[in-house]
Amino acid sequence: MGLSASSSAPYIGLAIKTYICLISDQRMQNILPLFQKGAEYDRVIMIASEDEKSGINPKFSGIFEDLRKALSDRIDLHLHPIPVHPMKPASTEQVCRELIRSIGPQDDVTINLTGGTKPMSIGAYNAGFATEARLLYVDTQSEQLYYHNAAGVSSEPFNLEKVDVDTFLRCHGKLPGKSHPSNRFSSRVKPLFSRRNSPVVTAQLIQKVAHLAIEKKPRFVPGSAETDLSDFLTDLVELNLASQCSDGILIGEDAFNFLNGGWLEYYVENALLETGLFMDIVCNLKVTKIPNQIDVACTINGKLGVIECKTGSLKGPDGQDTLSKLSTLRKSLGGTFAKSILVITSSKDSLTPEFVSRADEYVSCVMYIEQLEDLGSLIVKQLTSRSRG
């Protein structure tokens, strides 16, 4: 039951670091240790459970292929040819023992216990304990790696190299397309929100201007006696989002589309950038076989955030469609390692109790207009957890 020639030949006569893991539906717990700084494994051997015909379960061989393709430029991944019984610890123990013996005593072996079924984990633990291999448990709640060996238990916090959005999606069998180029007005978001008003007031003024111009072509907003709105119209002209005319301002069609909703995703992007914590942030991302583009996708400590930005109506079918879209995206793009966040420019009080209840069921979190000021840190809080509480 030794390694195949293709998996062992490059390392003959060398002391190497081998990482063994049990393939799981939750793929990130299998691969996050490969991104831990300083780990530097030479190869990965993945063990899959068997199907009813005692062959490798096709679902898990498919997961292996996704991971191999996504990580081939980073590390050698191999699927062990002998599957294990998902409900019999002794099956996994035997396969792991013989695999470790075939690797050789000079090599450094780590077994990740986090994947597979619980009986598989028990079997892998027994094999590792008997052969004095290093045992690893990935605690994604506390973001710690726990190592078990003869000396006891030690831990280290996640200190990961960059896991970008592209890698995360490819590990889950999704092929990211090109992200759409930024709107030419996207760079105006930060100065627009850095002027005289709070983020909440600025968002309200943007929506008021868009509403005043929505039925008009060319887009015209009359001058206002209201101080806040008058000052805001001046800001729009100074930022080249509008042009001054005798009795108000004129807004070009591209600028109007930006003010009528396009600004929000770039506000979210800027809020994430300002935290300095995200590994990757992508706007307007198209993913193959997923009909709707992702407004904002981001990664932090191996977790994916899928963010939908909505400034329009959330009443009736529009609201339900938005919630259904996010629920589908989260399930198809990472399961428990992905969270869906809806950012809206409505207050919670303005929404129906039915919508709020459905939102709790369909998405990980809703961020309301009142939360714009602390949006970046609030999204970080949603995507990370430093304790089990």
The percent of residues in the chain predicted with pLDDT above 90, rounded, is 67
What would the mean pLDDT of 239-244 be, rounded to a whole number? 96
Task: Give residue 14's pLDDT.
Answer: 58
Task: Give residue 326's pLDDT.
Answer: 82
| Residue 52: Cβ-neighbour burial (10 angstroms; 0-12, 13-18, 19+) | exposed
91-148 confidence digits (pLDDT tens): 999 999 999 999 877 689 999 999 999 999 999 999 999 999 999 999 988 889 999 9
Task: Give residue 4's pLDDT.
Answer: 43
Neighbouring C-beta atoms of residue 38, cutoff 10 Å: 7
Q: Give CA–CA dist 215/84, Å, rounded.
A: 65
Is residue 10 pLDDT above 50, yes or no?
no
What would the mean pLDDT of 217-235 be, rounded to a whole number? 92
Average predicted confidence (pLDDT) for the chain: 89
Position 181 confidence tier, pLDDT thresholds 50, 70, 90 = low
Is residue 297 pLDDT above 70, yes or no?
yes
107-116 confidence digits (pLDDT tens): 899 999 999 9
Position 88 confidence tier, pLDDT thresholds 50, 70, 90 = very high
87 vs 180, residue with greater confidence: 87
Task: Give residue 2's pLDDT.
Answer: 38
What would the mean pLDDT of 33-38 be, rounded to a whole number? 96
Position 385 confidence tier, pLDDT thresholds 50, 70, 90 = low
Domain ranges of the chain: 13-161, 176-183+267-383, 186-258
Task: Give residue 387's pLDDT.
Answer: 36
One CATH from 1.20.1300, 2.60.40, 3.40.50, 1.10.10 for 186-258: 1.10.10
303-343 confidence digits (pLDDT tens): 999 999 999 778 777 788 888 878 877 777 766 788 899 99
The model scores a pTM over 0.85: yes
Is residue 250 pLDDT above 70, yes or no?
yes
105 vs 83, residue with greater confidence: 83
Match 């030794």 to its residue by tokens.
2
The percent of residues in the chain predicted with pLDDT above 70, rounded, is 93
DSSP labels, 17-31: EEEEEE--SSTHHHH
Residue 19 contacts residue 33 (beta carbons within 8 Å): yes
Q: Give CA–CA dist 140/143, Å, rounded.
A: 5
Does domain 13-161 sit in CATH 3.60.20.10? no
Q: Do domains 176-183+267-383 and 186-258 have the same CATH topology?
A: no
Is residue 5 pLDDT above 50, yes or no?
no
Position 185 confidence tier, pLDDT thresholds 50, 70, 90 = confident
352-368 confidence digits (pLDDT tens): 888 888 888 888 899 99
151 vs 331, residue with greater confidence: 151
Task: Give residue 334's pLDDT.
Answer: 65
CB contact set of 209 (below 8 Å; sequence gap of 6+): 221, 229, 232, 233, 236, 251, 259
Phi, psi dihedral angles at 141 (to 5 degrees): -70, -50
What would the mean pLDDT of 190-197 be, rounded to a whole number? 91
47-73 confidence digits (pLDDT tens): 999 999 999 999 999 999 999 999 999
Half-sphere exposure of 11 (CA within 13 A, CB side): 21
- CATH architecture group of domain 176-183+267-383: 3-Layer(aba) Sandwich (3.40)
Task: Give residue 162's pLDDT.
Answer: 95
